[in-house]
Chains A and B, each alone.
Chain A
Amino acid sequence: MRDVAIIGVGMNKWGELWEKSLRDIFVEAALKAIEDAGVDHIDSMYIGNMSSGLFVGQEHIGALMADYLGVTPIPSTRIESACASGGAAVRQAFIEVASGMSDIVLAGGVEKMLDVDGNDATAALATAADQEYEVYNGVTFPGLYAMIARLHMDTYGTTQEQLAAVSVKNHHNGNLNPNAQYQFEVTTEQVLNSIMVCDPLRLLDCSPITDGAAAVIVCPLEMAMNYKNNPAVKIAGIGQASDFLALHHRKDPSWLKVVEIAGMQAYKMAGKEPKDIDVCEVHDCFSIAEICVVEALGFAEKGQGGCMASTGRTAIGGEIPVNTSGGLKSKGHPVGATGVAQVIEIVEQLRGQAGERQVHNARTGMTQNMGGSGASGVCQILEAV
Protein backbone atom coordinates (compact mmCIF):
# COMPACT_ATOMS: atom_id res chain seq x y z
CA MET A 1 0.00 0.00 0.00
CA ARG A 2 1.32 3.46 -0.94
CA ASP A 3 1.43 6.33 1.55
CA VAL A 4 -1.20 8.98 0.74
CA ALA A 5 -1.09 12.75 1.23
CA ILE A 6 -3.60 15.57 1.06
CA ILE A 7 -2.28 18.33 -1.20
CA GLY A 8 -5.31 20.57 -1.69
CA VAL A 9 -8.41 21.66 0.21
CA GLY A 10 -11.39 23.82 -0.70
CA MET A 11 -14.60 25.07 0.86
CA ASN A 12 -16.67 28.26 0.93
CA LYS A 13 -18.78 29.84 3.64
CA TRP A 14 -21.58 27.52 4.73
CA GLY A 15 -25.10 28.62 5.52
CA GLU A 16 -28.36 29.37 3.77
CA LEU A 17 -27.20 29.45 0.15
CA TRP A 18 -30.50 30.31 -1.55
CA GLU A 19 -28.86 31.77 -4.64
CA LYS A 20 -26.88 28.65 -5.49
CA SER A 21 -27.79 25.13 -6.56
CA LEU A 22 -26.37 21.81 -5.36
CA ARG A 23 -24.04 21.59 -8.36
CA ASP A 24 -22.83 25.18 -7.93
CA ILE A 25 -21.74 24.77 -4.33
CA PHE A 26 -19.97 21.50 -5.06
CA VAL A 27 -18.14 22.81 -8.13
CA GLU A 28 -17.00 25.94 -6.26
CA ALA A 29 -15.47 23.86 -3.47
CA ALA A 30 -13.91 21.38 -5.92
CA LEU A 31 -12.33 24.16 -8.02
CA LYS A 32 -10.86 25.71 -4.87
CA ALA A 33 -9.33 22.39 -3.85
CA ILE A 34 -7.89 21.81 -7.35
CA GLU A 35 -6.41 25.33 -7.34
CA ASP A 36 -5.06 24.91 -3.82
CA ALA A 37 -3.34 21.67 -4.84
CA GLY A 38 -2.00 23.09 -8.10
CA VAL A 39 -2.93 19.96 -10.08
CA ASP A 40 -3.84 20.18 -13.77
CA HIS A 41 -6.22 17.19 -13.74
CA ILE A 42 -7.85 14.62 -11.48
CA ASP A 43 -8.09 10.90 -12.22
CA SER A 44 -11.21 10.06 -10.25
CA MET A 45 -13.57 11.46 -7.64
CA TYR A 46 -15.87 10.48 -4.80
CA ILE A 47 -18.72 12.64 -3.52
CA GLY A 48 -20.13 12.17 -0.02
CA ASN A 49 -23.81 12.93 -0.02
CA MET A 50 -26.53 11.63 2.24
CA SER A 51 -29.78 12.44 0.53
CA SER A 52 -29.79 14.68 -2.53
CA GLY A 53 -32.84 12.68 -3.63
CA LEU A 54 -34.93 13.79 -0.65
CA PHE A 55 -33.41 17.28 -0.29
CA VAL A 56 -33.42 18.44 -3.93
CA GLY A 57 -34.97 15.52 -5.86
CA GLN A 58 -31.71 14.70 -7.63
CA GLU A 59 -29.96 11.34 -7.58
CA HIS A 60 -27.01 10.26 -9.74
CA ILE A 61 -24.89 13.17 -8.59
CA GLY A 62 -21.59 11.42 -9.29
CA ALA A 63 -22.08 12.02 -12.99
CA LEU A 64 -23.78 15.40 -12.46
CA MET A 65 -20.79 16.77 -10.55
CA ALA A 66 -18.23 15.36 -13.02
CA ASP A 67 -20.29 16.97 -15.81
CA TYR A 68 -20.39 20.44 -14.20
CA LEU A 69 -16.83 20.30 -12.90
CA GLY A 70 -15.85 19.62 -16.53
CA VAL A 71 -13.92 16.44 -15.77
CA THR A 72 -15.87 13.79 -17.70
CA PRO A 73 -15.13 10.98 -18.55
CA ILE A 74 -13.32 10.23 -15.25
CA PRO A 75 -15.02 7.82 -12.83
CA SER A 76 -17.15 9.75 -10.34
CA THR A 77 -19.03 7.97 -7.57
CA ARG A 78 -21.42 9.12 -4.88
CA ILE A 79 -20.77 7.66 -1.43
CA GLU A 80 -23.64 7.42 1.07
CA SER A 81 -23.10 6.61 4.71
CA ALA A 82 -25.63 9.03 6.24
CA CYS A 83 -23.84 11.85 8.10
CA ALA A 84 -20.55 9.94 7.71
CA SER A 85 -20.76 10.11 3.89
CA GLY A 86 -17.99 12.72 3.64
CA GLY A 87 -15.55 10.79 5.81
CA ALA A 88 -16.34 7.63 3.87
CA ALA A 89 -15.67 9.47 0.57
CA VAL A 90 -12.21 10.49 1.84
CA ARG A 91 -11.54 6.87 2.79
CA GLN A 92 -12.52 5.66 -0.70
CA ALA A 93 -10.16 8.21 -2.26
CA PHE A 94 -7.42 7.07 0.14
CA ILE A 95 -7.95 3.43 -0.85
CA GLU A 96 -7.91 4.22 -4.58
CA VAL A 97 -4.62 6.08 -4.29
CA ALA A 98 -3.02 3.70 -1.78
CA SER A 99 -3.84 0.75 -4.02
CA GLY A 100 -2.06 2.28 -6.99
CA MET A 101 -5.26 2.37 -9.05
CA SER A 102 -5.17 6.19 -9.43
CA ASP A 103 -2.76 8.99 -8.58
CA ILE A 104 -4.80 12.18 -8.13
CA VAL A 105 -8.25 11.76 -6.61
CA LEU A 106 -10.77 14.31 -5.38
CA ALA A 107 -12.83 13.50 -2.30
CA GLY A 108 -15.71 15.88 -1.81
CA GLY A 109 -18.98 16.20 0.00
CA VAL A 110 -22.10 18.25 -0.60
CA GLU A 111 -25.57 18.69 0.83
CA LYS A 112 -28.26 21.26 0.07
CA MET A 113 -30.73 20.99 2.92
CA LEU A 114 -32.59 24.30 2.86
CA ASP A 115 -34.48 23.77 -0.41
CA VAL A 116 -37.05 21.84 1.65
CA ASP A 117 -38.91 23.05 4.76
CA GLY A 118 -37.91 22.04 8.26
CA ASN A 119 -40.40 19.18 8.39
CA ASP A 120 -39.13 17.59 5.19
CA ALA A 121 -35.51 18.13 6.24
CA THR A 122 -36.20 16.41 9.55
CA ALA A 123 -37.88 13.53 7.72
CA ALA A 124 -34.93 13.20 5.33
CA LEU A 125 -32.43 13.13 8.20
CA ALA A 126 -34.55 10.54 10.03
CA THR A 127 -33.94 8.09 7.19
CA ALA A 128 -30.52 7.54 8.80
CA ALA A 129 -32.35 5.82 11.67
CA ASP A 130 -34.42 2.61 11.43
CA GLN A 131 -37.56 3.73 9.58
CA GLU A 132 -39.64 0.69 10.51
CA TYR A 133 -38.68 0.20 14.16
CA GLU A 134 -37.56 3.63 15.43
CA VAL A 135 -38.98 6.45 13.29
CA TYR A 136 -42.38 4.77 12.77
CA ASN A 137 -42.83 4.75 16.55
CA GLY A 138 -42.42 8.51 16.90
CA VAL A 139 -38.74 9.03 17.66
CA THR A 140 -36.88 11.83 15.88
CA PHE A 141 -33.16 12.20 15.30
CA PRO A 142 -32.70 14.63 18.18
CA GLY A 143 -34.87 12.19 20.15
CA LEU A 144 -32.36 9.37 19.69
CA TYR A 145 -29.47 11.53 20.93
CA ALA A 146 -31.71 12.78 23.75
CA MET A 147 -32.10 9.18 24.89
CA ILE A 148 -28.31 8.79 24.78
CA ALA A 149 -28.01 12.00 26.82
CA ARG A 150 -30.60 10.88 29.39
CA LEU A 151 -28.79 7.56 29.85
CA HIS A 152 -25.39 9.30 30.17
CA MET A 153 -26.83 11.70 32.76
CA ASP A 154 -28.50 8.87 34.72
CA THR A 155 -25.41 6.64 34.63
CA TYR A 156 -22.54 9.11 35.07
CA GLY A 157 -24.12 12.24 36.51
CA THR A 158 -23.47 14.34 33.40
CA THR A 159 -25.28 17.68 33.70
CA GLN A 160 -27.19 20.08 31.45
CA GLU A 161 -24.45 22.65 32.14
CA GLN A 162 -21.82 20.24 30.83
CA LEU A 163 -23.87 19.70 27.67
CA ALA A 164 -24.19 23.48 27.28
CA ALA A 165 -20.42 23.93 27.67
CA VAL A 166 -19.90 21.99 24.42
CA SER A 167 -22.11 24.41 22.48
CA VAL A 168 -20.54 27.46 24.15
CA LYS A 169 -17.02 26.28 23.24
CA ASN A 170 -17.91 25.38 19.68
CA HIS A 171 -19.65 28.69 19.03
CA HIS A 172 -16.60 30.48 20.46
CA ASN A 173 -14.39 28.66 17.93
CA GLY A 174 -16.86 29.04 15.07
CA ASN A 175 -16.94 32.77 15.70
CA LEU A 176 -13.27 32.73 14.61
CA ASN A 177 -13.98 30.72 11.44
CA PRO A 178 -14.85 32.79 8.35
CA ASN A 179 -16.53 29.74 6.74
CA ALA A 180 -18.84 29.02 9.69
CA GLN A 181 -22.61 29.30 9.31
CA TYR A 182 -23.05 30.86 12.76
CA GLN A 183 -20.26 33.31 13.57
CA PHE A 184 -21.41 34.38 17.00
CA GLU A 185 -20.91 33.37 20.61
CA VAL A 186 -23.58 31.83 22.81
CA THR A 187 -23.65 31.86 26.61
CA THR A 188 -24.46 29.00 28.95
CA GLU A 189 -27.65 30.84 29.94
CA GLN A 190 -28.73 31.13 26.30
CA VAL A 191 -28.21 27.40 25.77
CA LEU A 192 -30.05 26.48 28.98
CA ASN A 193 -32.95 28.81 28.13
CA SER A 194 -33.30 27.86 24.45
CA ILE A 195 -36.47 25.96 23.54
CA MET A 196 -36.72 22.30 24.45
CA VAL A 197 -36.49 20.07 21.38
CA CYS A 198 -36.30 16.60 22.96
CA ASP A 199 -35.74 16.56 26.69
CA PRO A 200 -32.91 16.99 27.78
CA LEU A 201 -31.67 18.46 24.46
CA ARG A 202 -32.50 22.09 23.73
CA LEU A 203 -32.27 23.98 20.46
CA LEU A 204 -28.71 25.19 21.18
CA ASP A 205 -27.61 21.61 21.87
CA CYS A 206 -28.42 20.78 18.24
CA SER A 207 -26.40 21.38 15.07
CA PRO A 208 -28.24 23.33 12.36
CA ILE A 209 -29.50 22.56 8.87
CA THR A 210 -27.00 23.86 6.33
CA ASP A 211 -26.16 24.19 2.64
CA GLY A 212 -22.50 23.53 1.98
CA ALA A 213 -19.75 21.62 0.22
CA ALA A 214 -16.09 20.74 0.78
CA ALA A 215 -13.38 19.01 -1.22
CA VAL A 216 -9.84 17.70 -0.80
CA ILE A 217 -7.28 16.38 -3.29
CA VAL A 218 -5.20 13.32 -2.41
CA CYS A 219 -2.21 11.78 -4.16
CA PRO A 220 0.68 9.42 -3.34
CA LEU A 221 2.95 10.96 -0.66
CA GLU A 222 6.01 10.60 -2.90
CA MET A 223 4.24 12.59 -5.63
CA ALA A 224 3.10 15.28 -3.16
CA MET A 225 6.59 16.79 -3.19
CA ASN A 226 5.93 17.86 -6.82
CA TYR A 227 3.10 20.14 -5.70
CA LYS A 228 4.65 22.95 -3.72
CA ASN A 229 1.70 25.27 -3.07
CA ASN A 230 1.42 23.99 0.47
CA PRO A 231 3.18 21.62 2.85
CA ALA A 232 1.77 18.11 2.27
CA VAL A 233 -0.23 16.43 5.01
CA LYS A 234 0.00 12.64 5.28
CA ILE A 235 -3.06 10.45 5.95
CA ALA A 236 -1.28 8.37 8.58
CA GLY A 237 -4.25 6.31 9.73
CA ILE A 238 -7.81 5.71 8.66
CA GLY A 239 -10.63 3.55 10.03
CA GLN A 240 -14.27 2.83 9.35
CA ALA A 241 -16.80 0.69 11.21
CA SER A 242 -20.51 -0.14 11.41
CA ASP A 243 -22.88 -1.12 14.23
CA PHE A 244 -26.55 -1.98 14.80
CA LEU A 245 -28.63 0.64 13.00
CA ALA A 246 -31.25 0.91 15.76
CA LEU A 247 -30.01 2.54 18.96
CA HIS A 248 -32.06 0.12 21.07
CA HIS A 249 -30.11 -2.88 19.78
CA ARG A 250 -26.81 -1.61 21.20
CA LYS A 251 -25.95 -3.12 24.57
CA ASP A 252 -24.90 0.26 26.01
CA PRO A 253 -26.63 3.00 23.98
CA SER A 254 -24.44 5.67 25.62
CA TRP A 255 -21.19 4.08 24.38
CA LEU A 256 -20.29 4.78 20.73
CA LYS A 257 -18.64 1.48 19.86
CA VAL A 258 -18.44 2.43 16.20
CA VAL A 259 -16.25 5.40 17.16
CA GLU A 260 -14.08 3.28 19.44
CA ILE A 261 -13.47 0.74 16.65
CA ALA A 262 -12.89 3.22 13.80
CA GLY A 263 -10.63 5.21 16.13
CA MET A 264 -8.63 2.13 17.14
CA GLN A 265 -8.10 1.22 13.48
CA ALA A 266 -6.81 4.72 12.76
CA TYR A 267 -4.57 4.78 15.86
CA LYS A 268 -3.14 1.36 14.95
CA MET A 269 -2.43 2.24 11.32
CA ALA A 270 -0.78 5.51 12.33
CA GLY A 271 1.12 4.00 15.28
CA LYS A 272 -0.38 6.68 17.54
CA GLU A 273 -2.22 6.91 20.86
CA PRO A 274 -4.74 9.45 22.11
CA LYS A 275 -1.96 11.37 23.89
CA ASP A 276 -0.21 11.93 20.52
CA ILE A 277 -3.16 13.88 19.06
CA ASP A 278 -2.69 17.67 19.07
CA VAL A 279 -6.10 18.69 17.65
CA CYS A 280 -9.30 16.82 16.84
CA GLU A 281 -12.49 17.48 14.88
CA VAL A 282 -15.43 15.42 16.16
CA HIS A 283 -19.03 14.89 15.10
CA ASP A 284 -20.97 17.12 17.53
CA CYS A 285 -24.33 16.77 15.77
CA PHE A 286 -25.68 17.21 19.31
CA SER A 287 -23.77 18.38 22.38
CA ILE A 288 -24.00 14.92 23.96
CA ALA A 289 -22.32 13.40 20.88
CA GLU A 290 -19.08 15.32 21.50
CA ILE A 291 -19.10 14.11 25.11
CA CYS A 292 -19.54 10.47 24.07
CA VAL A 293 -16.97 10.77 21.26
CA VAL A 294 -14.15 12.15 23.41
CA GLU A 295 -14.65 9.09 25.62
CA ALA A 296 -14.75 6.62 22.71
CA LEU A 297 -11.57 8.11 21.19
CA GLY A 298 -9.76 7.77 24.53
CA PHE A 299 -9.38 11.48 25.39
CA ALA A 300 -11.48 10.96 28.54
CA GLU A 301 -12.31 7.96 30.71
CA LYS A 302 -15.65 6.26 30.07
CA GLY A 303 -18.37 8.39 31.65
CA GLN A 304 -16.02 11.35 32.22
CA GLY A 305 -16.53 13.15 28.89
CA GLY A 306 -18.95 15.62 30.43
CA CYS A 307 -16.27 17.71 32.16
CA MET A 308 -13.94 17.98 29.14
CA ALA A 309 -15.54 21.13 27.68
CA SER A 310 -16.77 22.59 30.97
CA THR A 311 -13.23 22.56 32.43
CA GLY A 312 -11.58 23.95 29.28
CA ARG A 313 -9.60 20.81 28.46
CA THR A 314 -11.03 20.72 24.91
CA ALA A 315 -10.71 24.47 24.28
CA ILE A 316 -8.08 25.95 21.94
CA GLY A 317 -5.09 26.06 24.27
CA GLY A 318 -6.44 23.15 26.34
CA GLU A 319 -4.87 19.71 26.59
CA ILE A 320 -6.74 18.37 23.51
CA PRO A 321 -8.46 21.09 21.47
CA VAL A 322 -11.69 19.67 19.99
CA ASN A 323 -13.68 21.25 17.16
CA THR A 324 -11.47 24.27 16.57
CA SER A 325 -13.54 24.89 13.40
CA GLY A 326 -16.68 25.47 15.47
CA GLY A 327 -17.77 21.89 14.95
CA LEU A 328 -21.07 20.94 13.43
CA LYS A 329 -22.80 23.18 15.97
CA SER A 330 -21.40 26.50 14.77
CA LYS A 331 -19.74 25.78 11.43
CA GLY A 332 -22.92 24.03 10.23
CA HIS A 333 -23.79 20.48 9.24
CA PRO A 334 -24.48 19.93 5.53
CA VAL A 335 -24.42 16.23 6.27
CA GLY A 336 -22.55 14.81 3.25
CA ALA A 337 -19.93 17.57 3.38
CA THR A 338 -19.23 17.47 7.12
CA GLY A 339 -16.64 14.68 7.13
CA VAL A 340 -14.65 16.36 4.37
CA ALA A 341 -14.70 19.74 6.12
CA GLN A 342 -13.38 18.10 9.28
CA VAL A 343 -10.37 16.92 7.26
CA ILE A 344 -9.93 20.45 5.87
CA GLU A 345 -9.83 21.98 9.37
CA ILE A 346 -7.15 19.51 10.46
CA VAL A 347 -5.12 20.10 7.26
CA GLU A 348 -5.23 23.87 7.88
CA GLN A 349 -4.18 23.34 11.51
CA LEU A 350 -1.23 21.16 10.45
CA ARG A 351 -0.22 23.64 7.75
CA GLY A 352 -0.36 26.45 10.32
CA GLN A 353 -3.07 28.24 8.32
CA ALA A 354 -5.86 28.24 10.90
CA GLY A 355 -5.56 31.92 11.77
CA GLU A 356 -7.05 32.88 15.14
CA ARG A 357 -8.05 29.25 15.67
CA GLN A 358 -4.48 27.97 15.28
CA VAL A 359 -3.39 25.33 17.79
CA HIS A 360 0.24 26.06 18.68
CA ASN A 361 2.68 23.62 17.04
CA ALA A 362 -0.01 21.16 15.85
CA ARG A 363 1.76 18.21 14.18
CA THR A 364 -0.79 15.38 14.45
CA GLY A 365 -4.55 15.76 14.12
CA MET A 366 -7.60 13.51 14.06
CA THR A 367 -11.10 13.54 12.59
CA GLN A 368 -14.16 11.60 13.67
CA ASN A 369 -17.27 11.48 11.47
CA MET A 370 -20.40 9.53 12.39
CA GLY A 371 -23.61 8.43 10.70
CA GLY A 372 -27.02 7.91 12.26
CA SER A 373 -27.14 7.52 16.03
CA GLY A 374 -23.71 5.88 15.79
CA ALA A 375 -24.20 3.08 13.22
CA SER A 376 -21.44 4.29 10.87
CA GLY A 377 -18.13 5.79 11.87
CA VAL A 378 -15.01 7.02 10.08
CA CYS A 379 -11.80 8.33 11.66
CA GLN A 380 -8.65 9.75 10.13
CA ILE A 381 -5.30 10.63 11.66
CA LEU A 382 -3.35 13.25 9.72
CA GLU A 383 0.29 14.19 10.16
CA ALA A 384 2.34 17.16 9.07
CA VAL A 385 5.15 15.96 6.78
Chain B
Amino acid sequence: MSTPARYWREIPQRYRYEGNKCKETGEIFFPPRLVNPSTKSSNFEKVNLETEGKIITYTVIHVAPAHFRDLVPYAVAIVELNDGVRITSMIADCDPDDLKAGTKVRIEFRKIYEVGDAGIICYGYKCVPT
Protein backbone atom coordinates (compact mmCIF):
# COMPACT_ATOMS: atom_id res chain seq x y z
CA MET B 1 0.00 0.00 0.00
CA SER B 2 1.04 3.59 -0.44
CA THR B 3 2.44 5.62 2.46
CA PRO B 4 0.92 8.79 3.96
CA ALA B 5 3.55 10.80 2.10
CA ARG B 6 1.67 10.19 -1.10
CA TYR B 7 -1.29 12.13 0.24
CA TRP B 8 0.71 14.97 1.81
CA ARG B 9 2.59 15.45 -1.44
CA GLU B 10 -0.63 16.12 -3.25
CA ILE B 11 -2.06 18.64 -0.84
CA PRO B 12 -2.23 21.59 -3.26
CA GLN B 13 -4.17 19.70 -5.94
CA ARG B 14 -6.29 17.47 -3.83
CA TYR B 15 -7.08 19.60 -0.82
CA ARG B 16 -7.27 23.07 -2.36
CA TYR B 17 -8.39 22.12 -5.91
CA GLU B 18 -5.40 23.87 -7.47
CA GLY B 19 -4.67 23.58 -11.14
CA ASN B 20 -2.52 25.61 -13.49
CA LYS B 21 -3.36 27.82 -16.44
CA CYS B 22 -1.33 28.08 -19.61
CA LYS B 23 -0.44 31.77 -19.94
CA GLU B 24 -0.43 31.43 -23.72
CA THR B 25 -3.66 29.56 -24.47
CA GLY B 26 -5.62 30.12 -21.24
CA GLU B 27 -6.34 26.40 -20.94
CA ILE B 28 -6.55 25.15 -17.34
CA PHE B 29 -5.05 21.80 -16.33
CA PHE B 30 -5.88 19.58 -13.38
CA PRO B 31 -3.69 18.12 -12.04
CA PRO B 32 -1.17 20.86 -12.89
CA ARG B 33 1.09 19.90 -15.80
CA LEU B 34 4.68 20.86 -16.54
CA VAL B 35 4.03 20.81 -20.31
CA ASN B 36 0.94 21.92 -22.24
CA PRO B 37 0.33 18.86 -24.45
CA SER B 38 -1.16 20.98 -27.27
CA THR B 39 1.50 23.69 -27.53
CA LYS B 40 4.46 22.20 -25.54
CA SER B 41 4.58 25.49 -23.62
CA SER B 42 5.81 25.47 -20.01
CA ASN B 43 4.54 28.96 -19.21
CA PHE B 44 1.93 28.44 -16.47
CA GLU B 45 0.34 30.24 -13.53
CA LYS B 46 -1.34 28.63 -10.54
CA VAL B 47 -5.15 28.90 -10.39
CA ASN B 48 -7.91 27.70 -8.11
CA LEU B 49 -10.44 25.47 -9.83
CA GLU B 50 -14.08 26.40 -10.20
CA THR B 51 -16.06 24.46 -7.62
CA GLU B 52 -19.25 24.08 -9.67
CA GLY B 53 -19.95 22.10 -12.80
CA LYS B 54 -22.07 19.41 -14.40
CA ILE B 55 -22.06 15.66 -14.99
CA ILE B 56 -20.84 14.52 -18.44
CA THR B 57 -21.36 10.78 -17.82
CA TYR B 58 -21.67 8.59 -14.75
CA THR B 59 -22.00 5.06 -13.44
CA VAL B 60 -23.42 3.48 -10.31
CA ILE B 61 -20.89 1.07 -8.87
CA HIS B 62 -22.33 -2.11 -7.33
CA VAL B 63 -19.10 -4.14 -7.10
CA ALA B 64 -16.40 -2.10 -5.36
CA PRO B 65 -12.87 -2.44 -3.99
CA ALA B 66 -12.70 -3.42 -0.28
CA HIS B 67 -12.21 0.11 1.06
CA PHE B 68 -15.30 1.40 -0.75
CA ARG B 69 -17.51 -1.65 -0.13
CA ASP B 70 -19.55 -0.02 2.63
CA LEU B 71 -20.68 2.66 0.18
CA VAL B 72 -22.24 0.49 -2.56
CA PRO B 73 -24.19 1.28 -4.60
CA TYR B 74 -22.42 4.62 -5.12
CA ALA B 75 -22.22 6.96 -8.07
CA VAL B 76 -19.03 8.06 -9.83
CA ALA B 77 -19.04 10.61 -12.63
CA ILE B 78 -16.91 12.55 -15.04
CA VAL B 79 -17.68 16.14 -14.05
CA GLU B 80 -16.90 19.20 -16.16
CA LEU B 81 -16.28 22.24 -13.97
CA ASN B 82 -17.35 25.67 -15.17
CA ASP B 83 -13.74 26.48 -16.16
CA GLY B 84 -13.67 23.50 -18.55
CA VAL B 85 -11.59 21.25 -16.28
CA ARG B 86 -12.79 17.65 -16.11
CA ILE B 87 -12.40 15.37 -13.10
CA THR B 88 -13.53 11.92 -12.02
CA SER B 89 -15.36 12.13 -8.71
CA MET B 90 -17.83 10.29 -6.52
CA ILE B 91 -21.24 11.92 -6.40
CA ALA B 92 -22.24 11.99 -2.72
CA ASP B 93 -25.50 12.82 -0.94
CA CYS B 94 -27.68 11.79 -3.87
CA ASP B 95 -30.10 9.13 -4.99
CA PRO B 96 -28.18 7.57 -7.92
CA ASP B 97 -31.49 7.07 -9.74
CA ASP B 98 -31.91 10.85 -9.96
CA LEU B 99 -28.60 11.47 -11.75
CA LYS B 100 -28.27 12.15 -15.46
CA ALA B 101 -25.89 13.86 -17.87
CA GLY B 102 -26.17 17.59 -17.21
CA THR B 103 -26.94 17.31 -13.47
CA LYS B 104 -25.38 20.35 -11.74
CA VAL B 105 -22.91 19.58 -8.96
CA ARG B 106 -20.34 21.32 -6.75
CA ILE B 107 -17.05 20.05 -5.29
CA GLU B 108 -16.78 19.52 -1.55
CA PHE B 109 -13.87 18.49 0.66
CA ARG B 110 -14.65 14.99 1.95
CA LYS B 111 -13.16 11.88 3.51
CA ILE B 112 -12.40 9.38 0.74
CA TYR B 113 -11.48 6.33 2.84
CA GLU B 114 -9.62 5.15 5.91
CA VAL B 115 -6.56 2.92 5.72
CA GLY B 116 -7.61 0.28 8.28
CA ASP B 117 -8.90 0.93 11.83
CA ALA B 118 -5.82 2.77 13.08
CA GLY B 119 -4.57 4.07 9.74
CA ILE B 120 -4.66 7.56 8.35
CA ILE B 121 -7.82 9.05 6.91
CA CYS B 122 -7.43 9.91 3.24
CA TYR B 123 -9.21 13.10 2.22
CA GLY B 124 -10.03 14.53 -1.15
CA TYR B 125 -12.90 15.87 -3.22
CA LYS B 126 -16.37 14.55 -3.94
CA CYS B 127 -19.20 16.26 -5.78
CA VAL B 128 -22.75 16.79 -4.53
CA PRO B 129 -25.78 17.81 -6.60
CA THR B 130 -26.72 21.48 -6.17
A contact set with B: CB distance below 8 Å: 119, 122-123, 126, 130, 132-134, 136-140, 142-143, 146-148, 150-151, 154, 195-201, 246-249, 253-254
Contacts and interface: CB of A to CB of B under 8 A. Distances in A.
> Which 4 A-B residue pairings sit nearest by Cβ, starting from the closest?
A146-B59, A151-B57, A199-B60, A248-B86
Interface string B32-71: 0000000000000000000000001111111111101001
Contacts of A132: 10, 31
Contacts of B87: 133, 137, 248
B76 interface: yes
Contacts of B101: 150-151, 154
B103 interface: no
B90 interface: yes
Nearest to A129: B88
Q: Interface on chain B toward A: helix, strand, loop, or mixed SS?
A: strand
Interface string B75-114: 0111100000011111000001000010000000000100
Interface residues of B, number: 33
Given A132-B31, A139-B88, A154-B101, A199 B64 contact: no
Contacts of A195: 62-63
Given A151-B57, A154-B101, A197 B62 contact: yes
B76 A139 contact: yes
A295 to B, nearest CB: 17
B88 A247 contact: yes
B58 A147 contact: yes
A249 B37 CA distance: 11
Contacts of B86: 248-249
Contact of A246 (B59, B73, B88): B88
Contacts of B62: 195-199
B61 A248 contact: no
Contact of A136 (B56, B64, B112): B112
B17 interface: no
A174 B59 CA distance: 29
A202 to B, nearest CB: 9
A143 B73 CA distance: 12
Report which residue of A133, A248, A253 has the largest number of chain B beta carbons within 10 angstroms of its beta carbon. Answer: A248
29 contacts: A119-B65, A122-B65, A133-B31, A137-B76, A138-B68, A138-B71, A139-B59, A139-B88, A140-B63, A140-B65, A143-B59, A143-B76, A146-B59, A147-B77, A150-B57, A151-B56, A154-B57, A154-B101, A196-B60, A198-B60, A198-B62, A200-B59, A246-B88, A247-B88, A248-B78, A248-B79, A248-B86, A253-B56, A254-B57
B84 to A, nearest CB: 11
Contacts of B96: 199
Interface string B1-45: 000000000100000000000000000000100000000000000
B61 A140 contact: yes
A154 B55 CA distance: 12
Contact of B88 (A119, A137, A150, A197): A137
A196 to B, nearest CB: 5
Given A132-B31, A154-B101, A246-B88, A137 B124 contact: yes
Nearest to B6: A132
Contact of B74 (A138, A247, A254): A138
